[in-house]
Structures are given as structure tokens and as C-alpha cells.
Structure 1
Amino acid sequence: MTVAAAKLDTSHAGFREAGYWLDKTVDQLLTEAVEKTPDKVAIVADRADRDRATRFTYRELEKLADRAASALLRLGVGRGDVVTVQLPNWWEFVVTAFACSKIGAVMNPVMPILRERELLYILNFCQAKVFIVPNVYRGFDYAAMAQGMRAELPYLKHVIVADGEGETGFEAMLLLSEADKLPSGLRPDDMAVLMFTSGTTGEPKGVMHTSNSLIACCKALSGRFGLDSSDVLLVASPVGHMTGYAAIVLLSVYLGGTMILQDVWEARRGAGLMAREGVTYTAASTPFLSDICDAVKAGAARPNSLRSFLCGGAPIPSVLIERAAAELGLTVCSLWGMTEVLSGTLTEPARAAEKSASTDGRPLEGMQISVVNSEGRPAPIGEPGRLLVRGAQMFKGYYKRPELLTFDNDGWFDSGDLAYMDKDGYIRISGRVKDILIRGGENVPVVEIENLLYKHPAVSAVAVVGFPDTRLGERGCAFIVPRTGSTIDLTAVQAYLGEARMAKQFWPERVELLAELPRTASGKIQKFKLREIAAAFADAR
């Protein structure tokens, strides 16, 4: 059933007329913030390997972005060129994002957990000219990895290393020279961000967003939460995801507020940061919330200013919502979104106590949803169906994949999720049509893992499913039928995926050996039966 947004004009002209699209660009947000409060602190950058945080005012941030933009131009980066950025929550990421916008380049954030296998595909597919990495982060040498891939990256012209020394260092390459006069940069409907997401196929898909869709997200979230320039936002969610990038970093500059970057999530330190800096809002997956509650209970500083927590990626246990309210005085608001959709539905603070544990919210302003049955007709209240969505925050398509169906004739995008709607228009995600599992808010590419494991000499058949975990939402279990005379265990599986250079966070955390996989008469694996078996492993390690 479609909610009461039936009068929403989902044309581009309609978005503009209604004020959902502001026809501004990402860099214009920074320019406006500088004009209003040039000496206000824009960024407080905390790093786990340093005792003191680095601070930048809006004026200083714009100066750095101008220098970086000019330097990128001198490196041959122009309108429409892709800059791939594999940085943690460091200030260099923020500078690069605004620098790209100033010259019309495309920001391509990727998660620090990715390794050669995923990165080679992404960098070659989008023909990135520049790849920006940390020198060393959490004990891993990213600079060595990037240089080791150069021979397989024919389009890549420059590797820039944050914290790097010498001529390839971020400061040496991008910040030492004064800014030149910049040409007109990004346009509101140009692709501003390219973010890859794991889907049901073995290949990641490049999701294209414009400044209009990104800023529509900021406008909707600020309205639903009642945020303004006095707010202080914690960026603990990775900036390589839309939660960290759009729902916190860009939102903070849209507001003219202050963002607090935390590069390594450690709950006690995070709680101390929030208390010291007066953080009022953050967005993250369920594990972050649970960790904060546990840390404060164990004696960490209580973040008294924190009043709003946007929580998505997995259902929020009611006991956790009650804990947050009782122990932190915190309102937890459930959200459903995805890379293609940004923030689709959200429970507003006024109804969070009632709705956040049982629903994933109602459509944000400028967004519309519909739950349909197998015949494409609106599903009755309370009955599950496919979740369709359309509106001002939608992506503009998949990069270089015009053959992939995105929107139907009425502008609806099939999310691939199953949901049902209550009488108030709030939805609840009840399952997924697409074959992924979500671990700690991270989509795990099940098909790619299975395809790799099928190549293992000891594997005859394999199916990967999720099993419940209180902290992470789900963990992965690989059900394997060994070849005759062979055996395989978790250690061997993880070592094999490591040799294949797959991100560690995607590795299954449990292996179960079976004589055969449950199948339909036509031979299709019955994953629902495997999920029933795996449910018994809940919270197991």
C-alpha cells in the first residue's frame, strides 16, 4: 500500500518546485558555511595514534580544498574524472571530497577493509586517475598495496599517500602550492559521488549520486531531526559508506555545524570524544549503539549532549532502545536506506520510543514508498511484499551499466527488500529478495564468496548464509559439501579467501560440513532451510 505521499510530484521539476532539490553543489555548501561563520570550527579530527585532535575552521577547510582542487587539476584531473579515495575518517578525506566538487571531478570513496581483489575491479572499471590511500592504518601498509597493484592499473596516473613522506605524500602533492583560479566545477545534476555496492551478482555496482540527491538527503534529515548550525556531529561510521559520507559529513557542512571525526571505533574513546566536544547527533549501525551503552556502564564519560541517534543496517532490539533512553537519555531513530536510496524511511524522534523497535520508519520528505505483491499490486496492511521506492534522494543509475533495470515507467526502484506496512504508514523490513547478508551494517557479497569457494579443490558444493548475532546483526556461515576423500575447515576457508585477497570482513565466521545441500526438485539450493539450521548458531563465534 502506498503511503499518503500520493500527491508527490516525482519529476525533476517537481523536486525543484517543492524545494527538495536546491540546485546547489557540494562545494557550494562549504562556500556558504564560510560566508556565514568563517572562523567556526568545522572539523575536529581525532586519531587513535595521536594524543591531540587536529582542528580546522571553515575558512581553513576551504583554503585546503582550494589548494587540493588546483593540485588535482595540475595532475590532469578534470570534469568527470574519477578520484578513488580509500581513507579512514581522516580530515584528508573531507578536503578531497570538496576539492573534487570544486573542479567537477567524481569522488569515489571505498572502504578501508577492501583489498586487491575488490580494488582492482573498482579502479579499472571506473578508470580512476588518482588513488588516495593512507600510509599505514590499523597496522596495514596501504601504500605498499597500492604500489603493488600499479602494473595491473593502466588508467591510474597517481597514488597519493596520506601521512606519506616524500613527493607522493598528500601534503606534498596537494597542499603545498597556493590555489590557482578554479574553473566552474560541478553542476547540481552531475555525478558527484560514485560508490560501489555489493549486490546479488559477483560484480560490485557503481551507484551514481548527484549534488541534488545528496543535499536532498541532508535537508530531509535535518528537518526530521530538527538540526541546525549549533549541532555537533560525530563521524564514527566509515566515510566510505553513505551513512558516514552523506548522513554525517555532508550534513554537518550543510548545517554549518561541527563534525568530530573518529578514525578507529573504540567505544570508551568515542564516548569521551562525545562528552568533551558536546556531540548532539550521530548515525551508525546497531553495534555502535550497544558499544556506547556498554562503555558508559563500565565507567566511560557520559555523552550528556547526545540527543539523537540515527540507527540503520539491522533491526534495533527493543531492549537496546530502552537502555539508550534509560542510561544515556538518548532517542534512537530507526532508518531504512541503501546506497541507491540514501535515507528512504526514518522514525521521527517524537515517535521513536513507540516505533523504532518495531518499524524502520516512514518516508522522509520528498520520498515515497510502496509495498507490492507478486502481481505488482499494493499489498494489504501487515502483509509482506516487495519494497519499491522513489523520490528526491534516488541515485541516477549504475555507472556504465545501462542494461541494468533501475526505474520502471512510474519511477519506482525495486529495492530488493521485502517489507510490510502498518496502519500509520511505517514499514518493517521482513526479508531480502537479494542474496546478501549484512554484517555490522556491511553488505557481504555472498555470490562472490561462493564462486571463490567453488574453486577450492576440497569443495564440491557451497552455500553461504547469515546467522543472527546480537552485536553485528549477522555473521556468515559457509555450508560446504566436501569432495570425496577431502575435508575442509574454517581455518582453511579463511586462509583460501585471504590468498584470494578478499576483504577479511567478508570471510565466513563459521563452516558447517554437510553430505549434501538441501535443494528443490529443479536443483536450486533451498537457502531458507540452511538459515533455519544456522539460526541455532545465534551469537556463537
Structure 2
Amino acid sequence: MELAPSAHEDTTTRGWLLDVAPAPDLVPETDHRRPLNAAGVLDDAVRGGAGRRCLVTDSGTWSHDDLLARANQVAGALVRRWGLRPGNRVLLHGPNTPWYAACYLGVLRAGGVVVPVPWGVRAREVAPIAELTEVDLVVADARYAADLAELAQRVDVLLFGAEPTEFGREVDAGPAVFAPVRTSADDVAVVDFTSGSTGAPKCAMHLHRDLVFAALNHHRMLDLAPDDLVASNGSIAFGYLLGALVLAPLTRGAAALFVEDDDFDAFFDAAHRHRATVFASTPGLYRRGLRTGAPVPPGLRIALSGGEKLDQGTRDGWLEATGAPLVDHLGTTELMAPVIGTPRGAAHRRDTLGRAMPGFRVRVLDDEGHEVPVGRPGRLAVRGASGCLYVKDPVAQAEGVRDGWTHTGDRATLDADGHVVVHGRGRDLVMVDGINVATTEVETVLRALPAVADVAVVGVPDACGVTALVAFVTPTGVDRGLVGLVREHARRELAQYKQPRVVRVLDRLPRNARNKVDHRALAEVARAAVGALSFSGSL
């Protein structure tokens, strides 16, 4: 992979960028190479009010000026001591802390390319990401040093944290002023990873302008103001939460609440104590909050959901319980910016995801790439302000981008007014007795049972090659005959071929590093469970 060393040299992304041009309503300039460093949103925030709160934690609060000063010190130390040059790739590892945010923005200000990984990624997963992206340097929370021991044999690993470190001392000793390196709008800023279908990571490049698009469209949905406090239990290593929790608040002079633990209960407690006004998370957090009656800040005005399909029942229940609307959106690792949703103040059509966000267009296509008639399901494709560009993966690139349109992997329906209904991803459709079953539909039905806190359904073949549905459920309280309750509920509400043949109770659903339900791990358990079935039995 060849990343842009400066704003004045060509990049391997040039042909792609000409095909996936920025949307004119977001980028009026026609010159994609105009100067732009996405970390400049921090300078804008400081000009709007340097002393306002910016990053809030249980340990203290950083102002916008504090974050700018620390990001400048990080950038200066990386350039001065470790020779960081524009285009160098820096792997960044750790939980949401002010230091993590300062290092993220500091790398960008120095013209580097951030390769962010969250706290959920383990040692065996870090190495292939670092190898694929050819990182030049690693900056990490000292608590994760053990996960980086092998990588430290090949590149410098710089640690930050509560205890003094060599990197921390160098940062502290540097000036709080650093002029951002002159990068262009189409220079690479971030390389984000996602799990491929084989389990090996795929990495997608994001440009400086992509980060600005993400901030703009998140703000369009949240309508942030300087007194807002945005809270999330997810990592800003992911594009969704980088945009919603950091970039969008910075563009409006708002603040972010950083919670290091992704535990749902810990998040609700922290958000309530600090009086958050905006939530940004995945559907699982909102379902957990509804089931447990978790405390919600009295001033909460809006909640954003993403990462997985949000069912209408959770949306309705959240609004009834909290008075704050729960809005959904579609944004992928490959595209970063929200591409489908409902801007604040716009009318939302019930049971839909929304419409194409400003800067994007959507299509629904058949397997041959032709547009399907309105109301007929097909494969979702999007095009606009940002596009998909994989690192060293021409096969995934060819499959993911066709004629300039990014194929998201979702099955969807488009109505006459442009509203999108997402039925699930390709893996969410399984064939049972010759009939397509959407596992998301089964999950929605089972989730309506009061005794069920959350559910995931997978389909695996039995010994005869017949697909068996396996439901994994977590209890609201004590597991008292939950398997029987789920079976009885399924018999009442679902056609026979949609009913799970196996029901297993778990304390909590396994989740991957992106905080999504780990269907691959569940499928392994499901195969073992189905293997124990008699020819016609159930467990």
C-alpha cells in the first residue's frame, strides 16, 4: 500500500477519487486537492470558546484548549523525537481516554495516518492489522503493552498512561503550539479495519474530507449545541463513534463523555451522573436499558443508534420510556459518514431507516446489478461524499465497488419517496426447508418476550444438511424456565419453519471488537448444539 506522503505527490487513490466525486452540497470546491487537515476542527472549536468543556471523564474534564495543547504536544514529540513524516502510519491502541483522543488528533496534525484499534482487540488480532497497513509506529495506552510485545520487536511502541513513560515525558516537555501539516482533502487520514468473512481483517482508507463529512452528517442528525454532552459506550476507534463522539461535537463546540468500560450498566450510571444530553450507541444498549429500567439522564434529548438493525419495538419503547427520540442510521466501516438516516427536524417514515443523507444517493439492485422496481427487495448500493477503498485487497474492492457504487452487503427495499427499509445483511437470510428466513425477524419476535433481554439467531446445518435455527437468549432477570417460555412464544408467534430448533440461555451475547454480536462465535456453539440433536428432536 502506498499512502500519500504529502499534499503535492500523487497517490494510488487518484483514479478512484475521480469516479467517486464529493457531492456538491457538501464540497462546493471542484479541486479535491485543496488544503484540508481534518484535525483543524479542533482549532475551530478553540476559536469558538477555548475554556469550554470538551472531554469529560470520572477523573476530570479537559477543555477545548486543553485538548488542542496536548494534541500539539503529541504532534511535536512524534515529529521531533521519532521522526514522523507525512503519510507515516501510526497504530493507535487503547480505550476512550483524553490521551487517546489527543494522540489521534496529534497524529493527524502531524500529517500522519491513524490506524486505530479499540480496547477489545487482542494481541493475535493486532499483528495482522499492523502487517496489512505497514505501520511505522505504535502509540498505545500502557495498560495494553503486553498485547504489543511481539509488535515491539519490529517497530517503536510508545506508551502513554497514568504512570510516567518516555513518550509521556517527551510530550510534556514540548511546546503547546504546532502548526498542522498541510495535507489535502484527498490525502489519507485514517485506515480503519473490519472483520472479513474469513476472519482475516480488511482495512479501508478514509480521507481527510471523509472525516469532515462524517462530522457534518452526524451533526445533521443530532443538531448539536455547545451545551450538549454526547455519551457512548463504544470506542472512537470506529468511524461511527469517531464522528458522533468527537468530530461532530468539536464542530459545534460541544463535549463528549468518555466511559472506558463498555459495560452497559457502567455506561448508564456514568451518563446519568454527568447528565449527558445525547447518546450514541448500538441497539443492544437501548434494549438493555429498556429491560433493566436503567437510569437515563433527565435532560437526554436524543439517542442515535447504528452498527446493527434497530427494530421498531425498541425505537417505540425508548421514546415512551425516556421521552427522547431514538434515531437510526446506516454508516459502514468502508464509508465512515452516515449515508442513510433522518436529519433532525425532517419527517421520519415509520418502519424505515430513513432516506439518503445529504451528499449520498442510494439504489437497490438485483444480483445482476440492475435496479429493481420500487418496493421490491434487493441489494443496497450507495454513492456520494465518501467511497470504499480497501488496502491490498483487489478482490474485496472489485466485489465492494462496482461502477462507482459501494455495495454495503445489506438487503433493502426502496419506496417511491426514497425511504429505505433494511431487511438485514446477506448472512441474516438463511434457507429453511426451501424458504428464506430472515433471522432478524425471528430475533424481533423473541425479543418481544418480557423475560428476554436480548437475542441472536443463527442458522447452521444439522447432520442431514437441513438448516436448523438456533436462538441464543439472555434473561431479563433470573433464568426460570426461559427455554420453555421462548419455545412457547415462538410457537404462538412464528410459522413452524421459523421456530428455533435449539434455544440456549447465555449471561450475555458475545461481541466482537466492533461491539457487534459475534455471529461467527455463536455459529460455532450452534454447530455443536445442533450436532447433539436427534433426527427430529430439539434442545
TM-score normalised to structure 1 length: 0.73
1:189 aligns with 2:186: yes
Alignment match of 1:260 (pick from 251, 257, 270): 257
Q: How does 1:217-236 map to 2 (within 5 A)?
A: 217-236=214-233
Alignment match of 1:145 (pick from 136, 144, 147): 147
Call closer, same or farther: CA 1:96–1:352 in 2, change over 3 Å: farther
Paired amino acid for 1:308: I
Q: How does 1:397-436 map to 2 (within 5 A)?
A: 397-402=389-394, 404-405=397-398, 406-409=400-403, 411-433=404-426, 435=427
- Residue-by-residue CA offset, 1:183-221 (whole Å, 9 max, x unaligned): 624332111111011123443111111121121121122
Distance in 2, matches of 1:473 and 1:109, equals 30
Residue 32 of structure 1 corresponds to 44
Residue 307 of structure 2 corresponds to 313
1:81 aligns with 2:88: yes
1:373 aligns with 2:366: yes
Distance in 2, matches of 1:183 and 1:265, equals 32
Residue 340 of structure 2 corresponds to 345
SS in 2 for 1:265: coil
Residue 493 of structure 1 corresponds to none
Call closer, same or farther: CA 1:162–1:420 in 2, change over 3 Å: same
Residue 494 of structure 1 corresponds to none
Residue 247 of structure 1 corresponds to 244
Residue 93 of structure 1 corresponds to 100
**Once the 2 structures are TM-superposed, how far is the Cα of residue 135 of structure 1 from its aligned partner?**
3.3
SS in 1 for 2:364: strand
Distance in 1, matches of 2:457 and 2:37, equals 39
**Once the 2 structures are TM-superposed, how far is the Cα of residue 114 of structure 1 from its aligned partner?**
1.7
RMSD over aligned Cα atoms: 3.7
- Percent of aligned positions with the same letter in both sequences? 23
Distance in 1, matches of 2:73 and 2:271, equals 31
Q: How does 1:140-539 map to 2 (within 5 A)?
A: 142-151=144-153, 154=154, 156-167=155-166, 171-179=168-176, 181-182=178-179, 184-295=181-292, 297=293, 300=295, 302-342=296-336, 343-348=338-343, 354-355=349-350, 358-395=351-388, 397-402=389-394, 404-405=397-398, 406-409=400-403, 411-433=404-426, 435=427, 468=443, 470=447, 474=456, 507-508=521-522, 510-513=525-528
Distance in 2, matches of 1:108 and 1:150, equals 16
Call closer, same or farther: CA 1:329–1:478 in 2, change over 3 Å: same
Residue 45 of structure 1 corresponds to 57
Is the 1:368–1:391 Cα contact (8 Å) retained in structure 2?
yes
Residue 70 of structure 1 corresponds to 76
Residue 21 of structure 2 corresponds to 11
SS in 1 for 2:297: coil
SS in 1 for 2:303: strand
SS in 1 for 2:330: strand
- Residue-by-residue CA offset, 1:399-456 (whole Å, 9 max, x unaligned): 23356325333x21122221111233111222433x589xxxxxxxxxxxxxxxxxxx
**Once the 2 structures are TM-superposed, how far is the Cα of residue 117 of structure 1 from its aligned partner?**
2.3
Distance in 2, matches of 1:282 and 1:273, equals 12
**Once the 2 structures are TM-superposed, how far is the Cα of residue 265 of structure 1 from its aligned partner?**
3.2
SS in 2 for 1:200: coil
Call closer, same or farther: CA 1:277–1:352 in 2, change over 3 Å: farther
TM-score normalised to structure 2 length: 0.73
Is the 1:233–1:252 Cα contact (8 Å) retained in structure 2?
yes
Q: Which moved more, 1:368-377 or 1:173-182?
A: 173-182
Distance in 1, matches of 2:354 and 2:254, equals 25
SS in 2 for 1:238: coil
Distance in 1, matches of 2:96 and 2:83, equals 26
Is the 2:411–2:423 Cα contact (8 Å) retained in structure 1?
yes
**Once the 2 structures are TM-superposed, how far is the Cα of residue 306 of structure 1 from its aligned partner?**
1.2
**Once the 2 structures are TM-superposed, how far is the Cα of residue 277 of structure 1 from its aligned partner?**
3.4
Distance in 1, matches of 2:188 and 2:83, equals 19
SS in 2 for 1:326: helix
Paired amino acid for 1:345: I
Distance in 1, matches of 2:460 and 2:138, equals 34
Distance in 1, matches of 2:530 and 2:316, equals 44
Distance in 1, matches of 2:42 and 2:323, equals 32
Distance in 1, matches of 2:149 and 2:217, equals 41
**Once the 2 structures are TM-superposed, how far is the Cα of residue 275 of structure 1 from its aligned partner?**
3.6
Distance in 1, matches of 2:82 and 2:44, equals 28
1:59 aligns with 2:53: no
Residue 485 of structure 1 corresponds to none
Is the 1:236–1:244 Cα contact (8 Å) retained in structure 2?
no
**Once the 2 structures are TM-superposed, how far is the Cα of residue 361 of structure 1 from its aligned partner?**
1.7
Paired amino acid for 1:27: A
Distance in 1, matches of 2:529 and 2:269, equals 48
SS in 2 for 1:17: coil
SS in 1 for 2:307: coil
Distance in 1, matches of 2:31 and 2:280, equals 22
Paired amino acid for 1:11: A
Paired amino acid for 2:75: A
Distance in 1, matches of 2:31 and 2:49, equals 25
Is the 1:16–1:23 Cα contact (8 Å) retained in structure 2?
no
Call closer, same or farther: CA 1:481–1:93 in 2, change over 3 Å: farther
**Once the 2 structures are TM-superposed, how far is the Cα of residue 18 of structure 1 from its aligned partner?**
7.9
Distance in 2, matches of 1:427 and 1:125, equals 35
Call closer, same or farther: CA 1:25–1:473 in 2, change over 3 Å: farther
Q: How does 1:91-130 map to 2 (within 5 A)?
A: 91-130=98-137
| Structure 2 unmatched runs, 5+ | 1-18, 430-438, 448-452, 465-471, 473-514
Is the 1:213–1:392 Cα contact (8 Å) retained in structure 2?
yes
**Once the 2 structures are TM-superposed, how far is the Cα of residue 291 of structure 1 from its aligned partner?**
2.6
